[in-house]
Amino acid sequence: QVQLVESGGGLVQAGGSLRLSCAASGRIVSIEAMGWYRQAPGKQRELVALSRSGGSTDYADSVKGRFTISRDNAQNSVSLQMNSLKQEDTAVYYCYIRQATLMVSLERWGTGTLVTVSS
């Protein structure tokens, strides 16, 4: 019953910046984590950045020092600031949420937004 709406994707030159945003709506129970995945052509989907409820964050090695994830708990949203973009960052980026219930954690991904980094 949770929906994720993503925005901010587009075309940018190498070295440039983009900011992705995602807002969760619907039934919000207890958010354990929100983050971003991506899938490049011909590659498997990978975790880019994750923000946990306790405040800790994880980043893929390939984006450390360039990307920053942030949460706005009041708005149930998450953003990804992407700086110094490289052609290798070209991918469809998916917002992710994990919520806790009494018995199980529930996961959901958004529909994705395309980021294209040109030379």
Contacts of 77 (CB under 8 A, 6+ apart): 21, 22, 23, 24, 71
User: How many other C-beta atoms can be found within 10 angstroms of the C-beta atom of residue 45?
Assistant: 14
User: How many other C-beta atoms can be found within 10 angstroms of the C-beta atom of residue 23?
Assistant: 17
What pLDDT tens digit does each residue of the chain (119 aa) get?
A: 799 999 999 999 999 999 999 999 998 889 999 999 999 999 999 999 999 998 999 999 999 999 999 999 888 999 999 999 999 999 999 999 999 888 888 999 999 999 999 99
Exposure pattern of 25-39 as b/e (b: 16+ CB <10 Å)?
Answer: eeeeeebebbbbbbe
